[in-house]
Amino acid sequence: MTFQKGNNLWEFRNKHGRDFKFTPEKLWEEAILYFEWIKENPLVEDSVNFYQGKATHEPIYKMHAMTIIGFCLFADLDTVTFYEYRKNPDFMNITRRIEECIRNQKFTGAAAELLNSNIIARDLGLVDKKDLTTDGEKIEGIVYVLPNDPKLDEDNSKAGTEAT
């Protein structure tokens, strides 16, 4: 059966596409569950200590950094879907709040030296830019020097004779 010209059956649909897996409220509830899970499940490092020839194992509990990917895995939500939610006006405030909570946890954890500050700074896009080459002056042009350039050989031979 072919599609007949003038067919307008599509207009009788009451919705287009499938429903969202979460409502904004349910997404926030899932985020709260993720935040609690992170707090209750720190990373554990096995510290081996030696005393009088005997080895003992002691757990060292470390802060578990929150991530958007971690939240999406926890919520069984694809990261692409999360970022699509972020574009939706109904979800915009909730997704922003989730991202801000995650960013704040990472930043404060790194500031308190509970997380690796170098890794967190890169993840958060924090950089300390220093100009070590031009003292802030604009670079006007770039001179390219090619190997085996006869002009370069002449300049080097002149420089060598002037120095002697």
146 within domain boundaries: no
Whether 156 maps to a domain, the answer reads no
Is there a contact between 101 and 68 (Cβ–Cβ < 8 Å)? Answer: no
Domain-located, residue 159: no
DSSP string for residues in 104-153: HHHHHHHHTTSS-HHHHHHHHT-------SSTTPPP-------TT-HHHH
Average pLDDT in the 107-114 region?
Answer: 88
Asked if residue 106 belongs to a domain, the reply is yes
Q: Identify whether 66 is part of a domain.
A: yes
Report helix, strand or coil for 16.
coil
Give the number of domains in the chain. Answer: 1
Question: What is the pLDDT at residue 75?
Answer: 96
Instruction: Give the structural domain span for 116.
Output: 20-128
pLDDT digits (tens, 9 = 90+) for 2-57: 667 777 766 666 666 677 789 999 999 999 999 999 999 999 988 888 888 898 99
- Residue 4, class by beta-carbon neighbours within 10 Å (0-12 exposed, 13-18 middle, 19+ buried)? exposed
The answer on pLDDT for 143 being more than 90 is no
Q: Is 88 a residue whose pLDDT tops 90?
A: yes
Between CA 157 and CA 109 the distance in angstroms is 58
Q: Is residue 143 part of a domain?
A: no
Inside any domain, residue 79: yes
CATH number at residue 67: 1.10.132.80
What does 21-87 look like in DSSP terms, one character per residue? S--HHHHHHHHHHHHHHHHHS-EEEEEEEEETTEEEEEEEEE-----HHHHHHHHT--HHHHHHHHH
Residue 142 is assigned to a structural domain of this protein: no
| pTM of the model as a whole | 0.65
Residue 19 is predicted with a pLDDT of 74
